Amino acid sequence: MIGRLPPYALHTLRFRFRALATQAGRSSLGGDREVVLACFVAARIGAGLFPEMRADPAKLQVRAVAARQWLSSISVPGQVRQAVGAVISASAGADAVAAARALTHLLLLAPAQLDEASVAEIQELVDELAPDVAAVP
């Protein structure tokens, strides 16, 4: 049985955005934490565009409405709100390239709030959603 799991065992799940979640938990209350949480939510929504995770269009629309409502309830700078809103809109339309562009823009807006590991997680997501997005403005 070495190297194999018994038939009743569960596989270990990998939480994709561990650094972002940790950064949000460690950030001071207020604006910094809310920016990190907005980045975390944007990344989670963007990750939902992978084919193995994509929901049907009606569910994507419901999720986008709920995410927009949440976004309107937090206090983040306008440009961050716009970038996260663009990720939400892209996810509603199942547009991975647009989501990658919006996430790239979000990385430019939140360098003071994100640590290196958090930036790396979002950049990895961008690279997987649209490998050529860095070349396209």
Our count of domains for the chain comes to: 1
For residue 122, being part of any structural domain is answered with: yes
* 32 assigned to some structural domain: yes
Tens digit of each residue's pLDDT (9 = 90 or more) over 38-60 = 999 999 999 988 877 777 888 88
Examine residue 118 and state whether it is found in any structural domain, yes or no.
yes
Residue 10 included in any domain: no
Q: Determine the structural domain holding residue 83 and report its residue range.
A: 18-135
In a domain, 5, yes or no: no
pTM: 0.84
Q: Which residue has the higher pLDDT, 134 or 85?
A: 85
The answer to the question of residue 3 being in a domain is: no
CB atoms within 10 A of CB 137: 6
Is residue 11, in this structure, part of any structural domain at all? no
Q: Compute CA 43 distance to the chain's CA centroid, rounded to the nearest angstrom.
A: 0
Angle at 81 between CA 77 and CA 87, to 5 degrees: 150
